[in-house]
């Protein structure tokens, strides 16, 4: 679950980024509309949902929506704005926004609206991801493993959860460090050379508690492969 957040107010942007990260989203936060368009147009990442502020330097949130829809891109968009006049709301929806949130708002409401947008988006949303003995539940953001006849929840950090989700979506494929880096770390993340292998080590350790440590295999010189067991 990756989100593009475009908000030019630093305090609000930081607060939203923090709240979303806690909910296990990977968050690319930019403060300028033109820069946001680069992210979308260059296809640097595949987003689950986007949050655009209305008034932004560069391109406005409305212009970003219009450009997306002109390209037949149906990425779900939530617009943020201080305006609450009816005609503004209509203009936002006409431009292709899927929902609308008036500032100031509570983070709980923002998160609920984003979950609702994801549920309404048939091509991106399915409530569960089941691979082998593992089941990922998007409503509770948990992964459980079937052991004998019981399902046990694996306690994961946000990054471990994202990593395991990625592997579950690419079973039995060799994925390399760059693919994982691009998919799971923010575009602006500092390139720390061993961050991927460090996270994989942590995830393996968690999986080992459930006798699943052999699921992530190191393929020498190529990357990693997620095996079903």
Binding site for Ca ion (CB under 5 A): 8, 53, 55
Would you say 57 or 106 has its CB closer to Ca ion? 57
Minimum distance from residue 12 beta carbon to Ca ion (Å): 8
Minimum distance from residue 188 beta carbon to Ca ion (Å): 20
- Please choose, from the candidates 60, 45, 56, 71, the residue with its C-alpha nearest in 3D space to the C-alpha of residue 10: 56
Minimum distance from residue 66 beta carbon to Ca ion (Å): 17
Would you say 61 or 96 has its CB closer to Ca ion? 61
Minimum distance from residue 32 beta carbon to Ca ion (Å): 10
Would you say 55 or 91 has its CB closer to Ca ion? 55
Q: Is residue 79 within 8 Å of 54, Cβ to Cβ?
A: yes
Q: Is residue 76 within 8 Å of 118, Cβ to Cβ?
A: yes
- Please choose, from the candidates 90, 60, 96, 63, the residue with its C-alpha nearest in 3D space to the C-alpha of residue 78: 96
Would you say 82 or 189 has its CB closer to Ca ion? 82
Q: Which uninterrupted H or E stretch holds 64? A: helix 61-70
Minimum distance from residue 55 beta carbon to Ca ion (Å): 4
- Please choose, from the candidates 46, 27, 23, 228, the residue with its C-alpha nearest in 3D space to the C-alpha of residue 138: 23
Would you say 53 or 165 has its CB closer to Ca ion? 53
DSSP string across 4-62 = EEE---HHHHHHHHHHHHHTT-EEEEES-HHHHHHHHHTT-S--SEEEEESS-SSS-HH
């Amino acid at each position: 679950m990756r989100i593009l957040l475009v908000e030019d107010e630093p305090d609000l942007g930081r607060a939203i980024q923090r709240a979303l990260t806690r909910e296990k989203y990977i968050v690319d936060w930019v403060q300028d509309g033109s820069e946001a368009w680069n992210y979308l147009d260059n296809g640097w990442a595949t987003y689950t949902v986007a949050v655009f502020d209305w008034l932004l330097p560069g391109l406005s949130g409305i212009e970003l929506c219009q450009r997306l829809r002109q390209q037949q891109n149906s990425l779900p968009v939530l617009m943020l704005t201080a305006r609450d006049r009816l005609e503004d709301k209509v203009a936002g929806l006409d431009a292709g926004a899927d929902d609308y949130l008036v500032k100031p708002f509570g983070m709980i409401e923002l998160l609920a609206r984003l979950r609702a947008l994801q549920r309404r988006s048939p091509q991106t949303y399915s409530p569960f991801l089941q691979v082998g003995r593992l089941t990922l539940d998007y409503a509770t953001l948990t992964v459980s493993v079937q052991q004998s006849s019981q399902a046990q929840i694996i306690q994961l950090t946000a990054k471990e959860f994202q990593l395991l989700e990625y592997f579950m979506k690419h079973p039995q494929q060799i994925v390399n460090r760059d693919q994982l880096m691009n998919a799971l770390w923010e575009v602006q993340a500092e390139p720390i050379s061993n961050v991927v292998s460090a996270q994989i080590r942590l995830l393996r350790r968690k999986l080992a508690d459930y006798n699943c440590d052999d699921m992530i295999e190191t393929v020498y010189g190529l990357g990693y492969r997620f095996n079903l067991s």
